[in-house]
Chain A
């Protein structure tokens, strides 16, 4: 039994040994240190990815060539060229097609799940979306190889089904769950009083959605789409398997392409450590990092902006 605290003294100090308080101080230091781990790792990623390619980027890489040349010839015996424009366009084309698929499905499903379902059906739909999100990217890539590839060949009589269309379909399906869940959050964040006011004015549910909820949740919905875009840009293994590995500017969705991410995954293993080629791949990594950083930052600012307004 601990004695009752002496009046006039803080009870905190009683019954606690110096050791226990030292341990507590130590734990709190550890907690604080871990609190900054995210900042530490973001910087570490930047430092190591930039650092591993720095010597080449600073001394031998021509930035205009890197960004605006379509010739990616890192292993030629003659003049090697490190132009990523074809890869950038590869990424952009696959991502745009993916968004053309994912945005209507994702936002449509977000509105449906958030505004038109309740109870058990809502829970089931959310589980389905979650399971869709859980499918590993290598399994998506495999589906692209064995299911969508023959399907595209049969439907479009294309010589090969590993192309922009295949990658777009797969990335679209992979981005949908993100757009649905973030979009649903954005709709959920609109106060119920908005809905009630609109319905009380005699508006139908659909009118409420189009005239009240979507304008009110606009920033959050845009952020949802942007996060879907970031996912599509960053996806690696699935596009490596599904888009057919051709460094070229696509003229139709049935052309094969190669994305920025797939290039790193395909060539890092075969480039000699420290060579120009190896460092050029890290330069692509820097480009990808900056690209997704910008997209994610914009999305985050949009969500924050919405919260600030209300």
Chain B
């Protein structure tokens, strides 16, 4: 029997492992700092907008039209316009996107065709927003003759958000266990009945989460709507999808680059409203998602 202190423990630190541990600590610290630095711009931007914009953020600002060459008044038409654009684009993109995802996840088999569809989705998602704008001008404004209108702008936004809706819906559908479908088929249900009564009810909230996220993207875009339907200045509210409209994003662009003598707080307050809207939608989607994950039954 030897005393434990006479033979070194095989797990004792050697200079090599100590150096390794030191290096690991340095690396971890550097990575942590890099990551923490990413929080700074988010906090800085929010802080800057709140400090400079909040004083101007009155009910009058939210519910009045711009006046005096956009140097006074509020942003009500821009808020309403953004709601129009987001709503109509969602009405177009959500059904097509969800059905496309159903096809890809429930009907299509792995083949060269689904591979091409996948490539198309990836590339559609990667098309620059200004190219979407050119497409919108060429296809909807001119070719289909919708003119510069809410309809043209919404269609352009819809094409832009489509690939992401497809991808997120597909993920939600794929999260429904295969055994659910098999159980349903065994009972004699057809493919569509299975989707309608088993797959969709079990994934609808996940689908909604993805769709909600696209609301925030559509609300924030400027380039695709600039030439297809968003007006610089339109003091009245749109009455149909064939009217032009103002939009928050476009209004912020106009205020900060095109209009002279704008009171300093106005663009800040506009940016704050836009960012607040987008963040609220995003956060609700994140909260919904974590809630769903916590109560998932399988």
Interface residues of A (CB under 8 A from B): 5, 10-12, 24, 27-28, 30-32, 34-39, 41-42, 44-45, 48-49, 51-52, 104-105, 108-109, 111-113, 116, 123, 125, 127-132, 134-139, 141-143, 145-147, 173, 176, 180, 202-207, 209, 227, 230, 233-237, 241, 261, 264-265, 268-269, 273, 281-282, 285, 288-289, 292-293, 295-297, 299-300
Contact = CB atoms under 8 A, between A and B. Distances in A.
A264 B123 contact: no
Contact of A282 (B31, B48, B134): B134
A308 to B, nearest CB: 12
Q: Is the interface of A mostly helix, strand, loop or mixed?
A: helix
Contact of B135 (A30, A49, A299): A49
B199 interface: no
A283 B135 CA distance: 12
Interface in B74-89: none
9 contacts: A24-B193, A45-B135, A108-B30, A136-B222, A136-B249, A143-B48, A147-B44, A206-B20, A296-B122
Interface string B35-53: 1011101101100110000
A38 B223 contact: no
Q: Is the interface of B mostly helix, strand, loop or mixed?
A: helix
A264 B133 CA distance: 10
Contacts of B292: none
Contact of B27 (A41, A44, A206, A265): A206
A292 B121 contact: no
B192 A24 contact: yes
A104 to B, nearest CB: 7
A293 B126 contact: yes
Nearest to A230: B126
Interface of B: 17, 20-21, 23-24, 27-28, 30-32, 34-35, 37-39, 41-42, 44-45, 48-49, 95-97, 99-100, 102-104, 107-108, 116-135, 137-139, 142-143, 159, 162-163, 166, 188, 190-193, 216-217, 219-223, 226-227, 249-250, 252-253, 256-257, 267-268, 271, 274-275, 278-279, 282-283, 286, 290
Given A11-B188, A135-B278, A236-B223, A113 B35 contact: yes
A112 B32 contact: yes
A131 B42 contact: yes
Contact of A134 (B99, B135, B192, B279): B279
Contact of B253 (A34, A37, A105, A138): A138
Lowest 3 A-B CB distances belong to which pairs? A136-B220, A234-B128, A35-B103
B90 to A, nearest CB: 15
Given A42-B123, A206-B28, A31 B103 contact: yes
Given A35-B104, A38-B121, A234-B130, A265 B24 contact: no
Contacts of B117: 35-36, 38-39
B130 A132 contact: no
A236 B24 contact: no
Nearest to A40: B120
Given A12-B188, A288-B130, A237 B223 contact: yes
Contacts of B49: 139
Nearest to B31: A112
B1 to A, nearest CB: 28
A28 B193 CA distance: 11
Contact of B124 (A11, A42, A104, A173): A42
Nearest to A169: B41
A285 B253 CA distance: 22
A48 B188 contact: no
Nearest to B278: A134
A285 B130 contact: yes
Contact of A49 (B126, B134, B249): B134
